Amino acid sequence: MRISAVQKFTTLDYPGKTACVVFTAGCNFRCGYCHNPEFVLPEQLKELEDHFIPGEVFWSFLETRRGLLDGVAVSGGEPTLQRDLPDFLRRIKQMGFAVKLDTNGGLPEILRPILEEKLADYVAMDVKTSLLRYTELVGACVRPEAVQESIKLIRELAPNYEFRTTIVREHHDAETLENMRELVRGARRYALQGFRSGKTLDPAFSAYADIREKELETIGALFATEVDELIFRH
């Protein structure tokens, strides 16, 4: 497991639980608005490899958190790129922690056995945009049909889950949002957050406008009747 960083404590990243966050290195998507390109781009990852956290160091840390934390959130990058992810999740659960898995849904063939074995108690999947515009936003590496398959798998097999979207005004126009309603319709939980400018993987996105709270709530109204629970993360 390539662990690029660990956040030792959070009450925000795993809904309803105290947790730590494990960040895995590398991603198969190239989202222009990504704020952590150093954990995504191979050339930048190579510069950080000497600072990655060895597995034995992480397991020793987690041992000290027994009885203090409820769970572990495994994020990225994209965790499903890690070949030993099932073993990693299995060991966390054997230690008595609940597992939250963050994913972009690009690899349903990896996600399916994890869900079938019940190695993730909570799954948070990014629904970036409409299927028709996925390659435009995240790059040619994505298979839109794979994203759709992951949404289906999570609905059917995840004990608890959420879908979530970062709204970018310059990308998420009315037609795109309407198509996205079809993707998330009937979901248990859907979280919206607004794009924030700053350091981005694609420098062009750093000049894009921030999404204001009121604007996000207006967009949320489009989805409120489509999902069981709508969440705003500001």
Residue 132 forms part of a structural domain: yes
CATH number at residue 134: 3.20.20.70
Which tokens in the block code for residue 81?
């790129």
Residue 31 forms part of a structural domain: yes
Give the Cα separation of 11 and 111 in Å (integer): 25
Residue 126 forms part of a structural domain: yes
Other Cβ atoms less than 10 A from the Cβ of 164: the count is: 18
**Which tens digit of pLDDT belongs to each residue from 15-37?**
999 999 999 999 999 999 998 88
The predicted structure's pLDDT at residue 46: 86
Residue 225 forms part of a structural domain: no
pTM of the model as a whole: 0.96
Q: Are 10 and 96 in contact (CB under 8 A)?
A: no
Q: Which pairing describes strands 19-24 and 3-10: parallel, antiparallel, or unpaired?
A: antiparallel
Residue 214 forms part of a structural domain: no
Residue 217 forms part of a structural domain: no
Residue 224 forms part of a structural domain: no
Preceding peptide of 194 cis, ω within 30°: no
**Which tens digit of pLDDT belongs to each residue from 132-176?**
999 999 999 999 999 999 999 999 999 999 999 999 999 999 999
Residues linked to residue 103 through DSSP beta bridges, in sequence order? 125
Q: Please say if the pLDDT value at position 43 is more than 90.
A: no
Residue 127 forms part of a structural domain: yes
Give the Cα separation of 204 and 191 in Å (integer): 25
The predicted structure's pLDDT at residue 28: 95
- How confident is residue 70, by pLDDT bands cut at 50, 70 and 90? very high
Give the Cα separation of 155 and 162 in Å (integer): 9
Which structural domain range is residue 54 located in? Answer: 3-161+203-209
How many domains, the chain? 1
